[in-house]
Amino acid sequence: MQRRELLRGAGVAGIGLLAGCTSSTGTGGDGGNYHAPEPPSGSGGGNDAKAFRIETFDYNAGASGPLEVSVTVTNEDATKRSGTLTVTVTTETTETRSTGVKLAAGESKQYTLTFDVTVATFEQKGSMNFSLA
């Protein structure tokens, strides 16, 4: 009888330990249904995109009106890594912007890229893609 109570108590404790172990992806904009993609496979060495993860992203109107896309990238590796973050925005046209990413082990940093399209146009007709290489 005591053995059953001990096992039941251990099971409840185990479930309690699992609470909060889920993760979520960021959504962009004002309630948009945009989800951060999984980063592509890396090329090895010090330029390994597999070590990077897109934590969150969002978009808004910049100070002068164009679309600004902010992306937070984390280096999940135990060593310093570098690579390139590329964001492509498609509306009536397609625009691509890239920036260098250099992060220490475990570091996260936000990168902001500006596009020649308004937020209103993007929200009506747009799509967004990310890549890390």
Domains belonging to the chain, first-starting first, are: 25-132 (2.60.40)
Q: How far is CA 2 from CA 6, 9, 16, in A?
A: 6, 10, 21
Task: Report, as an integer, the average pLDDT of 87-113.
Answer: 95
The confidence score (pLDDT) of residue 10 equals: 39
Handedness of CA 118, 124, 129, 130 (dihedral sign): positive
Q: Are strands 81-90 and 94-103 parallel, antiparallel or unpaired?
A: antiparallel
**Do residues 89 and 128 touch, judged by C-beta distance below 8 A?**
yes
Task: Report, as an integer, the average pLDDT of 63-68.
Answer: 83
pLDDT class for 133, splitting at 50, 70, 90?
confident
Task: Report, as an integer, the average pLDDT of 47-65.
Answer: 80
**Cα separation of 73 and 69, whole Å?**
13
Task: Report, as an integer, the average pLDDT of 30-47.
Answer: 41
Token pair listed for 35 = 């989800």
**Backbone phi, psi, residue 80, to 5°:** -65, 140
What percent of the chain stands above pLDDT 70? 61
**Cα separation of 86 and 133, whole Å?**
8
